[in-house]
Amino acid sequence: MSPHARLCRLLDSATLASNDVPVTRFLLVDDHRLFCEGMRALVSQETHLELVAVAHDAAEARALAAAHDCDVIVVDVSLPGVGGQTLARELKTAMPFRQVLMLSMHDEAEIVAQCFDYGADGYALKSQSPAELFDAIRAVAGGARYLAPRLARSWGAGRRRGRSADHSPRTH
């Protein structure tokens, strides 16, 4: 479906929560089943978020992303097999209208930069609170670039101390 057709379809059948606030729909891609079930439980308490499906590997993610209408695809960086960065690039190539938020325990600048280079729209950390992660999902769904606040603060401090730009993630 073309981006224009998808937008028309979304406008015609937009899912609205209380106070006419649109529901942000997302697909979660993570190989840790306990984490996924925890996310499902947390999201079930949210009014304006809907977890439409969970994939545990890249093949399942590709199929579910094609089958479900969602605003954001949340991808674990350390996905076994093809890896989260490569999956992000594949998803953005196949579905450029979808937003991709990388989620990881890794806070190394090189990994974060590679995710953005591969087309990710945001990078969140698994150490963030659920509320912060949900804000990240909403921000990326709204078209914003997102970087976990802890990373932005630490790399911003590094720049102020005179480190080279190579120590911070590249954003487009």
26 contacts 50 by C-beta, under 8 angstroms: yes
Q: Which residues of 94-132 are buried (b: 16+ CB within 10 A; e: fewer)?
A: ebeebbbbbbbeeeebebbbbbbebbbbbbbbbebeeee
Total domains in the chain come to 1
pLDDT-derived band of residue 153, with 50, 70 and 90 as boundaries? confident
> Does residue 64 fall inside a structural domain?
yes
Q: How many CA atoms lie within 13 A of 67 on its CB side?
A: 10
> Does residue 1 fall inside a structural domain?
no
Query: pTM of this prediction?
Result: 0.81
Ordered strands of the 72-76 beta sheet: 49-55, 24-29, 72-76, 99-104, 122-125, 146-147
Residues with Cβ within 8 Å of 81's Cβ and at least 6 positions away in sequence, in order, are 57, 58
Q: For residue range 72-130, list pLDDT tens digits in order.
A: 999 999 999 999 999 999 999 999 999 999 999 999 999 999 999 999 999 999 999 99
> Does residue 80 fall inside a structural domain?
yes
> Does residue 95 fall inside a structural domain?
yes
User: From residue 59, how far is each of 11, 53, 64, 71, 87 by CA, in Å?
Assistant: 30, 14, 9, 19, 9
What does the pLDDT average to over 41-69? 96
> Does residue 4 fall inside a structural domain?
no
CATH of the domain at 30: 3.40.50.2300
> Does residue 5 fall inside a structural domain?
no
Model pLDDT, residue 75: 98
> Does residue 11 fall inside a structural domain?
no
More confident residue, 123 or 160: 123
Q: Domain range holding 118?
A: 21-167
Q: For residue range 16-39, list pLDDT tens digits in order.
A: 444 567 899 999 999 999 999 999
Model pLDDT, residue 155: 78
What does the pLDDT average to over 141-163? 79
> Does residue 2 fall inside a structural domain?
no
